[in-house]
Structure 1
Amino acid sequence: MSQSKLVHEGKLLARLSGPIVIGQVGQNLITLADTIMVGALGSIALGASAFAGSVFIVFLLFGMGMLAPVTALFARMQGQENYPYGGVLLRHSVVVAAGLSAVMIAALYALLPNLKIFGQTPEVLAMGSAFFEITIWSVFPSLLYQAYKQFTDGIGKTKVAMSVMIFGVIFNVAGNYVLINGYYGFPKLGLNGAAYATLFARTLMALMMVFYVHAHPHFKKYLAERWTHRFDHHLLKSIIRLGIPNGMTYIFEVGAFSSAAVMMGWFGATPLAAHQITISLASTSFLITLGIGIAGSIRVGYELGRGDYSSARFAGFTAIKMGGAYMGICALGFFFLREWFPTFYVNDVDVIAWAAKFFVVVAIFQIFDGVQAVAIGALRGMSDTQWPSIIAFFAYWVMGLPAGYMLAFHLGVGPVGIWIGLLMGLIFASILLTWRFHILSKRFLQS
């Protein structure tokens, strides 16, 4: 392939991924704003919100993962120029979002009286339960927003969801300020005020997406079919069949890193604090890779819709190379600045020393993390979600965590062993996922 084609594809991926990355940063800013503003209420309130949020996010991530593969279906429709089918897909995505929300809300309410199983203090449990109950109701607006986001992202209009997310962040911060403190005639709700602010922000974001898509002339060609038309049960099943493995992939990854943090805590507060600093910075660099992965999914799906299998393969591998190259740059930064980055968080020399050791492993970890994340996106563009889920399970739960446990607690490596285990899992995942994309894309070429 010519250098000019590589540059052109790189520009397309950058143009698509930029707004997606800003949107991802916006999601994190909502959480950050809640943390900072709730922190002023004291340690119990902060602990309660962190506890409730950590339980809730597992469910929400699964729901978002369920809907994520639809982006590639929209992109494929765009490539085929079968615009009315985009409206059909959107309608069915909304139905899946609504049905999934009903199931998740019921499950979360069933969990509500049993939150004590997580072993929190009575004070944290009391405040966290009230916060949790309010947050439950943000499930549906969150997934409704996500369904419309998959549509606008899939057809290449990634700035729409980005703009709505930015507005949501601003609204959430303002809502926190007013409802936590009781300004401008509103009641002083304390911690619950932050929950209501997030609920209102997510609801407003969903309504903005719905209104914009259905009111803007650009989307009329997609919405030609009446929404009262009967539903295609095969299409609903197809969306669910693609979504469940992808949702489980999200759970396997989040669960693995949560488990790694638990194991790190067995070594004491100092290594755990260093671990939290390390994972915080590694997660920040990961946001751009995540955007490249979503853009890769869109580009692969679009080219498949056009029937240009060679370009679909090229787009996928270009995205994977971009993800790896970007994370390679981050790796250099983490390695050479490993003793400086932790000073942003703490002054404790022991914590800084442990974080510096972790960053040596994380520097290598970054490259493979970038490759596997973008490879999952490229495979999602080919509507392949089952094998990535299986690979993720084996990478994290059969290889990474057990290896980290053995290295850390039985082979004398200590806390660094946990990170080495995660690195081993990511190397395994990145190789198999890239190989899987190679095999599938080659199969399309030969068909």
Structure 2
Amino acid sequence: MYKTHTLKQKIKLFLLLLYPILITQLGMYSMNFFDTIMTGQVSKEDLAGVAIGSSLWVPIFTGINGIMLAIAPIVAQLTGAKQNNHVSYVVRQGVYLSFILAVLLCIVGFFLVDPILSLMDLEEKVRRVAKYYLLALGTGIIPLFIYNLLHSFVDALGHTRVTMLITLITLPFNLAFNYVFIFGKFGFPAMGGIGAGIASSLTYWIAALIAILIIAKFRPFASFSILKGWEKPNWPTWKEQLKIGIPIGFAIFFETSIFAAVTLFMSTYDTTTIAAHQAAMNFASFIYMIPLSISMTLTIAVGFEVGAKRFKDAKVYSYLGIGLAVIMAAIGGLIIYTFDYKVASLYSNTPAVIEQTTYFLFYAIFFQLSDAFGAPIQGALRGYKDVNITFFMALVSYWVIGLPSGYLFANYTELGPYGYWMGLIIGLAAGAVALMYRLNQKRTENEPIQQSL
């Protein structure tokens, strides 16, 4: 990051930060994307099993991993304030914290997988795939959490192309592992959806090892000596990160868990409906990587400007990011509407699954428009370290408004399973409105925006 003086310079810097983050996020989500597509080619039961497994994994992982995202605004503000000497210590303490959280998640998850799956009315094969898919993923949680912590540190320094490079290196490994373990190649047994979990875990290990190597050997990261001079774990430093990270994690958890809850409610329908829902949700989530990447870019840019006390510049970046996200959402909606059947055909060769997937995709057009407002605003507010209010807004918007309205639509109207998606639209829209109000409050707290030409 560096100081900019004109709107043109801000746009250029923002795009330079954004495109590697976008490629990174698309690449990382491609692992889940290809997991879903490739298991769908095995059977609809495997696809449904991965759907159930993912619905349990994603909100827990993203929620706890959200704590690691606190490193980004902390490091961004430290570098903006030219306090680079404190960065290394903060990151090392973050590594300790990420390791402990990963171990705790592994232990709790191991004992809760069976009881949770037994509560669902699932076919035996679907339950088996979901269970062992989750257990396979669990073997990669520790390197995944450490990688994401280091990933946030690298991005906060403005070197987003480095994490893009790591993703581009690891993605082919994931595809190869999927091919081997899902379909049973080179002497390995065909494991279907369970093989997708093994492939993802192995990929997490590779990504973490590459990140450690880069941080240890290459500039400017080596100059921070992150991997040298390990101090004892320090609770006050953890507390600072948890103070920012826990609200971020809960906000992300409440958003992602509503999608998981919808998938679990879908378990009351037949396997075809579960598979179609998962296919449509998987593609919509792939499109969501665009506003999510803009959100992460805003955290870095806004955090850097706030650390330097340039509040007007922080506001310019905020609205620049929101505007770009809305434009991209409109383009994404047009793509979904135009190519819905072709998209659905990627996930299954079963006509009934393809037909239902196209119906779900229609609803996806509208809730990804709401995400175009909500996600970037969350990123901007994280740059201010303003995270508590977003946590509360997420809780109310998604769980008090979104999920109950979806339940009503699904069970008391003719919409059926599509009613849950209508609830998602309502919840995401409510969240976007509330977040926009909070960001406007930030505008009144400091001097108004004056764009430089």
TM score, norm. by length of structure 2: 0.85
Helix, strand or coil at the partner of 2:389: helix
User: Hey, what does 1:322 align to over in structure 2?
Assistant: 324
User: Hey, what does 2:158 align to over in structure 1?
Assistant: 156
Provide closer, same or farther for how the CA distance between residues 401 and 127 of structure 1 changes in structure 2, counting only shifts above 3 A: closer
User: Hey, what does 1:12 align to over in structure 2?
Assistant: 13
State whether residues 331 and 363 of structure 1, in contact with CA within 8 Å, keep that contact through their aligned partners in structure 2: yes
Provide closer, same or farther for how the CA distance between residues 326 and 31 of structure 1 changes in structure 2, counting only shifts above 3 A: closer
User: Hey, what does 2:69 align to over in structure 1?
Assistant: 68
Question: Residue 78 of structure 2 aligns to which amino acid in structure 1?
Answer: M
User: Hey, what does 1:24 align to over in structure 2?
Assistant: 25
Provide closer, same or farther for how the CA distance between residues 266 and 116 of structure 1 changes in structure 2, counting only shifts above 3 A: closer
User: Hey, what does 1:395 align to over in structure 2?
Assistant: 397
Asked if residue 56 in structure 1 is aligned to residue 88 in structure 2, the reply is no
Which stretch of the first structure deviates more once superposed, 144-153 or 264-273?
Answer: 264-273
RMSD: 3.4
Which stretch of the first structure deviates more once superposed, 126-135 or 212-221?
Answer: 126-135
Report the alpha carbon displacement of residue 77 of structure 1 after superposing the two structures with TM. Answer: 1.7
Which runs of 5 or more structure 1 residues have no equivalent in the other structure? Answer: none
Question: Residue 69 of structure 1 aligns to which amino acid in structure 2?
Answer: A
Helix, strand or coil at the partner of 2:370: helix
User: Hey, what does 2:408 align to over in structure 1?
Assistant: 406
- Alpha-carbon separation, structure 2, partners of 1:358 and 1:166: 28
Provide closer, same or farther for how the CA distance between residues 308 and 168 of structure 1 changes in structure 2, counting only shifts above 3 A: same
Counterpart of 1:368 (choices 367, 370, 392) is: 370
Listed as ranges, the matches of 1:424-435 within 5 Å are 424-435=426-437
- Alpha-carbon separation, structure 1, partners of 2:407 and 2:48: 27
Provide closer, same or farther for how the CA distance between residues 33 and 267 of structure 1 changes in structure 2, counting only shifts above 3 A: closer
Question: Residue 8 of structure 1 aligns to which amino acid in structure 2?
Answer: Q
State whether residues 305 and 314 of structure 2, in contact with CA within 8 Å, keep that contact through their aligned partners in structure 1: yes
Report the alpha carbon displacement of residue 316 of structure 1 after superposing the two structures with TM. Answer: 1.4
Identity rate, percent: 24
Question: Residue 76 of structure 2 aligns to which amino acid in structure 1?
Answer: A
- Deviation sequence 1:387-435 (CA, Å, 0-9, x none): 1111111111111222233344436666654444322222221121122
User: Hey, what does 1:298 align to over in structure 2?
Assistant: 300
Listed as ranges, the matches of 1:189-338 within 5 Å are 190=191, 194-223=196-225, 226-262=228-264, 275-276=277-278, 278-334=280-336
Report the alpha carbon displacement of residue 71 of structure 1 after superposing the two structures with TM. Answer: 1.1
- Alpha-carbon separation, structure 2, partners of 1:109 and 1:116: 14
- Alpha-carbon separation, structure 2, partners of 1:63 and 1:403: 27
Report the alpha carbon displacement of residue 227 of structure 1 after superposing the two structures with TM. Answer: 2.9
- Deviation sequence 1:310-363 (CA, Å, 0-9, x none): 11121112112221222133334445666776566678599758945862x544
Higher relative contact order (CA 8 A, sep 6+): 2
- Alpha-carbon separation, structure 2, partners of 1:271 and 1:135: 25
State whether residues 277 and 342 of structure 1, in contact with CA within 8 Å, keep that contact through their aligned partners in structure 2: yes
Aligned length: 441
User: Hey, what does 1:168 align to over in structure 2?
Assistant: 170
- Alpha-carbon separation, structure 2, partners of 1:195 and 1:285: 22
TM score, norm. by length of structure 1: 0.86
- Alpha-carbon separation, structure 2, partners of 1:298 and 1:285: 22
- Alpha-carbon separation, structure 1, partners of 2:201 and 2:222: 30
Report the alpha carbon displacement of residue 69 of structure 1 after superposing the two structures with TM. Answer: 2.5
- Alpha-carbon separation, structure 2, partners of 1:189 and 1:414: 35
Provide closer, same or farther for how the CA distance between residues 408 and 242 of structure 1 changes in structure 2, counting only shifts above 3 A: same
User: Hey, what does 1:97 align to over in structure 2?
Assistant: 98
State whether residues 83 and 221 of structure 1, in contact with CA within 8 Å, keep that contact through their aligned partners in structure 2: no
